[in-house]
Amino acid sequence: MVGLRLLPPLLLQANLGYFRKHPWLLMFALLGIMLGVAGVSGVEITNYSARKNFDIANEQLLGQARYRLSSEQPIAESLLTQLREHWGVEAAPLISRHVRLHNDTGPVVQLLGIDVFQLQRFGPMQEVPVSDGFQPRQLLLEPASVLIGEISYQRQQLKGAELTLFTDRGDRPVNIIGRIGAADDSRFSSLLLMDIGRAQQLFNMAGKIDHIELNIDDDKAQKIRQWVPAGIQLVSVQKSRGATENLTEALHLNLSAMGLLAMVVGVFLVYNTLFFSLVQRQQLFGQLRNVGVSQRELITYLLLELLLIGSIGTLLGLLAGLLLADQLLVLVTRTINDLYAVSPIEILQLQPWLILKVVAVGLGGALLAGLMPALHAVKTSVRSSQSRVLLERKSRQLSQRLPGLSVLLLLLALVLYYLPQTGIVGGYLLVTALLLAGACLMPMLVSYSCRGLAAIRSPQRGLVFSMALKDTERGLSRTAVALMALMVAVAVTVSMSLMIGSFRSTLDLWLKQRLNADIYISPQTRLPDDYRSLAPQIWQWLQDQPEIETLASYQRVSTETLGRQLQLFASDLPPQAQSGYRFKSRFKHRFKSTDVQQVWQDFQQPGHILISEPLANRHGLFRGDKIPLMTPLGVEEFVIAGVYFDYGDSNGRAILSPQNFSRYWHLKPGRVAGLYLKPEADIQSLLNRIRRLPEADMLRISERRGVLDRSLEIFERTFLVTDVLRLLALLVAFVGMLSALMALQLERQQEMKLLRAVGLSLKQRVLLLSYQGLLIGLLAGIAAVPVGMLLAWGLIEVIQLRAFGWTLFYELEWQSLLQAPILAVTAALLACVYPAWKQYKEHSSVPDQILKSPPSGRLQ
């Protein structure tokens, strides 16, 4: 702050004096920036960390490999030999399995079986430290030897070298012969390395490997693609990475949206506070100008002040953001773990550019919010005596223009709505436009409301209330911004509540409809990549049970379509199960229903497929269109029999009938059985008989209730993250309102003295303050309801649809709606407490009688 030295000391003293007298304003300004920055940085750091950790967990070791050969079942290792001999390409074997540490409830880790002597060709591993005395050859020479990440070893509090792994082949003892990576190197978290031969021994898969990693160019890939046997797919590693990234995109996007909204509210808050501090100091500035401070000096000073407040606020915000991210990351990681059955790491990943971005947002926000009022204040400061009058006039002119601006913004929103190609960015612009349009209408609303209320004045209402009405309308120059800030804050929380509520109820309904069998049976597995089917004798046994009316069967595999990963289901669905599916019509209007009967008939036909709404939306596909699908026999085109609503995967899902599935896949369909019982059936006796089956130990038997509860529980945990953020937004909004209103009230202290002088009692003055606070709070709160509803519509119908391709069913929760005015009024009343107390204090220290004349706006 070298600039400070160049400024006249008087300027600094005067302003310091001002802030000493009004510490609240300073605090609110700092708080505004801090909360905004905390929101943005908390979310950004969380998102970045979660993504980075997820990536790290997935493909750290596979470094430069560009292509991967995979199949639905393990590949014969002779294929690797042929690739190396006939093609002379760099090819490495890979076994990739998930196992649990210790036992069937231990943490999931990824076990990679690799050719330890070839690793360097693929991975960027040269500079990784490894524990003393370890030699790679040990991995080959010593049975069941594993290398574990130092980070996991410490975090899991392992001791010694012995470790038990829970695998799909049961418990296996292994021997830790080395630890890899530094203790804080998250790349090696949740990771075990074995030599390929030892991994084959561990999983009883002699002669087989899961994948072959290839370091080849695209031309060679094209040739090899032609050459590999049927049933084996060559996929670009980049592409499959992209797919895993997509999985978490939904979560991150939602978080980002909330972080940004928190920032918007924060900026409003800062603007409001700074605006007040400037309006209050206008007289002061005028006097400073009179004693010779130049306009340039004044502007320089104000800019420095802004930067200082911005910097301190940003710094505090960043610290708070880190604390927030630390908490959020745990929740996000748990969610990712729940949804995708991987165990990413919970480590905050910081990047200089990330910090820089946050600082830029914080400082930028402060400057953006403060620059206009600062320039304005300086310009008008010369005519200090008439400044208030001028300000009022000017702001009235401005507020006359606001409705027009509002209409323009609404038009912009409309245009964006009809331009889906503007994508998510367009969606955000649309929502912002709606929000600002609502905010622009606020002054007009207040003005009309006050006039309206004044017109229906009755004698009972009393003088003070009328004064409050008049005063509020007249004081719009000061109150307009506070009002807008209030409304924005409340509307944002309302819209978020509504959106999340709609999301939740849509998912709830979807799960309840979809999971409608009475009992589900699947092979017992605690590992994410186990595709074993139920044994044929179990299917036979189930068919013979008298209680069972009908059976549904499900199998799930991963495949690719149109360059994206896709979850493909092979499902045999009886009418009961079919009733769990709702279809989208060919047209945009959802109420025009599709011929469901026809859809299910088509589904059974050869070459037909059902696809989920996100997949359909992403590629603009409708019933009757064709979709290419990667199958073990190559890419095949399927006719879309129907598009069903689904929220399980924003990447999309698809369903084939078992007959269609078996035409292309060797995997047996029927991994999971859904049992629909006869109405009078005794579910307990059936369950008991199932549990007495010889294979029962290998089965996972769940009643509908249990499955539903578990699914809902997982989704609830997903929402926990959003809830935390919503709470944060609510807090920002509340503090924002509080500070805006309090600043408003504190600014009136001078006026109060005047009112006191003309004879208003303490009670009357406090009432006046309260009425005004209440009025503003109520008006903002009520206005926030429709604006919030509109915003929620934008979030649901535009942003969610564009980002994830799914249609949420808009649900109005009255709690969320009611929340708005309550929040606003509470904040408004709370904001009156301190000014009222101040009135009381002044009153008791200086009785009315002593007060002779109103104090002039003397320089203090």
Q: What residues line the site for another protein (CB under 8 A)?
A: 77-78, 80-81, 84-88, 115-120, 123, 125-130, 135-137, 140-141, 143, 180, 195-198, 200-201, 206-207
CA distances from 388 to 391, 442, 476, 478 (A): 5, 21, 12, 10
Residue closer to another protein (CB basis): 142 or 682: 142
Provide the minimum distance between the beta carbon of 574 and another protein in the complex, in angstroms, as a whole number.
46
Provide the minimum distance between the beta carbon of 138 and another protein in the complex, in angstroms, as a whole number.
9
Provide the minimum distance between the beta carbon of 166 and another protein in the complex, in angstroms, as a whole number.
23
Q: Report d(CA 113, CA 465) in Å as an integer.
A: 79
Closest to 630 (Cα-Cα) out of 367, 239, 347: 239
Residue closer to another protein (CB basis): 44 or 195: 195
Q: Report d(CA 649, CA 425) in Å as an integer.
A: 22
3-state secondary structure of 586: coil
Residue closer to another protein (CB basis): 188 or 301: 188
Residue closer to another protein (CB basis): 128 or 312: 128
- Match 């209320």 to its residue by tokens: 453
Closest to 32 (Cα-Cα) out of 699, 589, 535, 732: 732
Provide the minimum distance between the beta carbon of 137 and another protein in the complex, in angstroms, as a whole number.
5
Instruction: For residue 430, count CB atoms less than 10 angstroms from its CB and return exposed for 0-12, middle for 13-18, buried for 19 or more.
Output: buried
Provide the minimum distance between the beta carbon of 240 and another protein in the complex, in angstroms, as a whole number.
23
Could you tell me if 123 and 64 are in contact, meaning their C-beta atoms sit under 8 angstroms apart? yes
Residue closer to another protein (CB basis): 128 or 315: 128
Provide the minimum distance between the beta carbon of 235 and another protein in the complex, in angstroms, as a whole number.
23
Provide the minimum distance between the beta carbon of 199 and another protein in the complex, in angstroms, as a whole number.
9
Provide the minimum distance between the beta carbon of 141 and another protein in the complex, in angstroms, as a whole number.
5
Residue closer to another protein (CB basis): 118 or 576: 118
Residues 6+ apart with CB under 8 A from 31: 269, 313, 735, 739
Provide the minimum distance between the beta carbon of 77 and another protein in the complex, in angstroms, as a whole number.
5
Residue closer to another protein (CB basis): 125 or 228: 125
Residue closer to another protein (CB basis): 206 or 456: 206
Could you tell me if 586 and 605 are in contact, meaning their C-beta atoms sit under 8 angstroms apart? no
User: Measured in Å, how far apart are the chain's first and last C-alpha atoms?
Assistant: 25
795 backbone dihedrals φ, ψ, rounded to 5°: -65, -40
Q: Report d(CA 151, CA 180) in Å as an integer.
A: 8
Could you tell me if 195 and 116 are in contact, meaning their C-beta atoms sit under 8 angstroms apart? yes
- Match 């290419």 to its residue by tokens: 628
- Helices 237-290 and 476-514: crossing angle, nearest 10°? 160
Could you tell me if 576 and 517 are in contact, meaning their C-beta atoms sit under 8 angstroms apart? yes
Residue closer to another protein (CB basis): 135 or 294: 135
CA distances from 553 to 267, 574, 578, 674, 688 (A): 54, 9, 12, 6, 21
DSSP string, 316-362: HHHHHHHHHHHHHHHHHHHHHHHHH-----------HHHHHHHHHHH
Closest to 168 (Cα-Cα) out of 670, 701, 698, 702: 698
Provide the minimum distance between the beta carbon of 56 and another protein in the complex, in angstroms, as a whole number.
17
Closest to 108 (Cα-Cα) out of 118, 98, 119: 98
Provide the minimum distance between the beta carbon of 132 and another protein in the complex, in angstroms, as a whole number.
10
Residue closer to another protein (CB basis): 116 or 469: 116
Q: Report d(CA 777, CA 783) in Å as an integer.
A: 10
Provide the minimum distance between the beta carbon of 86 and another protein in the complex, in angstroms, as a whole number.
7
- Quick one: tokens of 840? 């009381």
3-state secondary structure of 475: coil
Give the β-pairing of 634-644 and 145-149.
unpaired
Residue closer to another protein (CB basis): 78 or 154: 78
Provide the minimum distance between the beta carbon of 143 and another protein in the complex, in angstroms, as a whole number.
8
Residue closer to another protein (CB basis): 84 or 556: 84
Residue closer to another protein (CB basis): 193 or 737: 193
